A and B are shown apart, each in its own frame.
Chain A
Amino acid sequence: MSITVTSLVKHFDNFAALKGVDLSVRPGEFLALLGPSGSGKTTLLRILAGLEFPDAGQLTIDDVDVSEQGARDRQMGFVFQHYALFKHMTVAQNVAFGLRVKPRRERPSGVEIKERVDRLLQLVQLEQLGDRYPAQLSGGQRQRVALARALAIEPRVLLLDEPFGALDAKVRKDLRRWLRGLHDEMGITSIFVSHDQEEALELADRVAVMSEGRIAQIGTPTEIYRSPANAFVCEFLGNTNRLACRIEKGGAKLGEQFFVAAVPSDAPALPGVAYVRPEDCDIHPEPNGPGLKARVLKIHAAGPAVRVELRRLESDEIIEVHLPPGSDAPEIGRDVALTFRRVRIFPAAGA
């Protein structure tokens, strides 16, 4: 069940939601579309579902061009952000809906529909609630009904639009772990949209980071976190420090260390930005030793890491460093030297 998207473009009046997206979804994978609001991730998902049509580009499923097919015929299960459960039907009727509207020859018998509904309700752990109405359920329960309803039609692909967006933190964590378990058990290709990076990085096999209508980078969570391909991905994922620097001879110097930049080695000198994660920094208490000179401003020792806030002496930029818990932190006001284990350098914006 592979999906391929080629050069997809979509405009809403004057707003360009997608500016040319290429994507290949592997069968059985759990893919996350991650990005800030307005990046186009929900639009892309809805085009995959057939709820919107692209202005240009192609969409193929298993090598069949489905760009012109409507949502009815695509056999995809869609889970909406606000569930979109049918208010006037019970839970069991909601789940059975997709089966009841099938054309006569494909429709299973009443008995079979009931059996399938019961099995699905068991799968989502809502067996006792078949006769309740959506208004009588909690948010997490409603989400599971929406999932069961989408799975009832045995879709080829499961599409989820910010499935946990409307739930509170504890329910969200439990539900997402459960969803991943379900995916592993069923092996169904799933694509979900999220603006919560922790969720995307935790759940997905691959993550496509989107920005302004394009895919900025696609890769496994480790790949995109440790090897971001551009400045946007760097800044969007996790905590990161930005240090201004000058790129010369294909790299830049921070303190005594020289790091390679993402530019060809014979490029002319230009201003750049070095991105360093707080956990990739080391503090050396001797200020005159090799390293970037900085002054300690604050220390937060309560929490999973010791967080030290410093000011870079030559530029007044604030740097945050995470040390393992229980480490000795230098005193506030002290000048220290910083060295880095892993740095990504990109040309400054506008350069």
Chain B
Amino acid sequence: MNPAAKKPRSRHDPTTEPGWVRWLLILVTVGYLLAMLVLPTLSVFIEALAKGVDAYLKAIDDEDALSAIRLTLFVAAIAVPLNVVFGVCAAWAIAKFEFRGKSLLITLIDLPFSVSPVISGLIYVLLYSIHGWFGPTLDALGIKVVFSVTGIVLVTIFVTFPFVARELIPLMQEQGTDEEQAAISLGANGLQTFFRVTFPNVTWGLLYGVLLCNARAMGEFGAVSVVSGHIRGLTNTMPLHIEILYNEYDFVGAFAVASLLAMLALVTLALKSLLEWRYADRLAGGARH
């Protein structure tokens, strides 16, 4: 009998947790996701269709609802392109050039993320309302910012500011400047270098950033709520309209409009996953967020 031979232990990979730990973790995660995300989202659709498809369509077809939808689309259509232009410029400057104050600029770009959206809205009211800093000047020029569409657009721009820039900066920094230097050595000027070399390298990262920016622009509530004045049919975006309907106990109406936003969220998620799956190496650092 060989004294060195022992009964072999249960065969599990020594570098991972034993089976039961893994299953427990998975169960806890799935359970949490179900309770916190899946069920609430499902319930939006269930409640929206609680009184049948007709009631659902009537709620969406309502004039105030339609105007809220139009306003949401309008705000996104302005905020997103502006932030794309800004984001690309900022990322280009930060990634390809050396200048003093670069870290400060990066920190400022991240500011809207760290500030509560309600505070963001409040800042705009403090600055632009009739009693605010710029109030008298704007009033003299006949420009109304607070309680108007202008204010909503401005505040949405502020809140969705960082998305495109944050996606592009690490991507461009990782790509470095070699290709641009090659382009210059071959005789290209600044614009040619940008459009033929820099820009094509970041298209997928840009698309990803636009997607996130758009989702946020359409769904913003806190900041817009402070600035808009809730004038039905004029300064109500979809999230605000949903709140009004809910406060009036029109649950089907509220959930019906909410389901539109939920569908937007699902479509955004699907597109995001698609981009990550196909182009992971060309998104910021290949990271999947």
A101 to B201, CA, bound (A): 18
Contact call B179/A51, Cβ cutoff below 8 A: no
| Chain A neighbourhood of B189, CB < 8 A | 72, 101
**For the complex, is B43 an interface residue (Cβ under 8 Å from A)?**
no
Q: Mark each residue of chain B from 163 to 182: 1 if its CB lies under 8 Å from any CB of chain A, else 0.
A: 00000000000000011011
**Which residue of chain B has its CB nearest to the CB of A77?**
B185
**For the complex, is A200 an interface residue (Cβ under 8 Å from B)?**
no
The binding surface of chain A is classed by DSSP as loop
At the interface with chain B, which of A84-92, A166-174, A228-236, A276-284? Answer: A84-92
Nearest CB on A from B10, distance (A): 44
18 contacts between A and B (CB under 8 A): A49-B185, A51-B184, A71-B184, A75-B187, A77-B185, A80-B178, A80-B182, A84-B178, A85-B179, A87-B179, A87-B201, A88-B201, A97-B188, A101-B183, A101-B188, A102-B187, A150-B186, A153-B187
Residues of B participating in the A interface, judged by any CB pair closer than 8 Å: 178-179, 181-189, 192, 196-197, 200-201
Given A88-B201, A101-B196, answer yes or no on A82-B185 (Cβ-Cβ < 8 Å). no
Contact call B197/A86, Cβ cutoff below 8 A: yes
The 10 A-B pairs at the shortest CB distance, nearest first, are namely A98-B186, A84-B178, A84-B182, A78-B185, A101-B188, A88-B200, A71-B184, A71-B185, A101-B192, A84-B179
Given A80-B178, A82-B178, A84-B179, answer yes or no on A70-B184 (Cβ-Cβ < 8 Å). yes
Nearest CB on B from A317, distance (A): 46
A85 to B182, CA, bound (A): 8
A34 to B231, CA, bound (A): 75
| Chain A neighbourhood of B188, CB < 8 A | 72, 97, 101
Given A82-B178, A101-B192, answer yes or no on A51-B185 (Cβ-Cβ < 8 Å). yes
**For the complex, is A149 an interface residue (Cβ under 8 Å from B)?**
yes
**Which residue of chain A has its CB nearest to the CB of B200?**
A88
**Which residue of chain B has its CB nearest to the CB of A102?**
B187
| Chain B neighbourhood of A101, CB < 8 A | 183, 186-189, 192, 196
Contact call A78/B187, Cβ cutoff below 8 A: no
Contact of B187 among A51, A72, A88 (CB under 8 A): A72
Q: Which A residues between 18 and 36 are near B, CB-CB below 8 angstroms?
A: none
Residues of A participating in the B interface, judged by any CB pair closer than 8 Å: 49-51, 70-72, 75-78, 80, 82, 84-88, 97-98, 101-102, 149-150, 152-153
Contact call A97/B186, Cβ cutoff below 8 A: yes
Given A72-B188, A88-B201, answer yes or no on A97-B183 (Cβ-Cβ < 8 Å). yes
Other than the known A49-B185, A153-B187, what 11 A-B pairs have Cβ atoms closer than 8 Å? A50-B185, A80-B182, A84-B179, A85-B182, A97-B183, A97-B186, A97-B196, A101-B183, A101-B192, A102-B187, A152-B186
**Which residue of chain A has its CB nearest to the CB of B203?**
A88
**Which residue of chain B has its CB nearest to the CB of A74?**
B185
Contact call B186/A51, Cβ cutoff below 8 A: no
Contact call B181/A72, Cβ cutoff below 8 A: no
Nearest CB on B from A262, distance (A): 41
Q: Which of A72, A76, A82, A85 has the most CB of B within 10 A?
A: A72
A78 to B182, CA, bound (A): 7
| Chain B neighbourhood of A152, CB < 8 A | 186
Nearest CB on A from B194, distance (A): 12
| Chain B neighbourhood of A85, CB < 8 A | 179, 182
Given A86-B197, A87-B201, A88-B201, answer yes or no on A98-B179 (Cβ-Cβ < 8 Å). no
**Which residue of chain B has its CB nearest to the CB of A159?**
B185
Contact call B181/A84, Cβ cutoff below 8 A: yes
| Chain A neighbourhood of B186, CB < 8 A | 97-98, 101, 149-150, 152-153
Contact call B187/A98, Cβ cutoff below 8 A: yes
A78 to B186, CA, bound (A): 8
**Which residue of chain A has its CB nearest to the CB of B281?**
A135
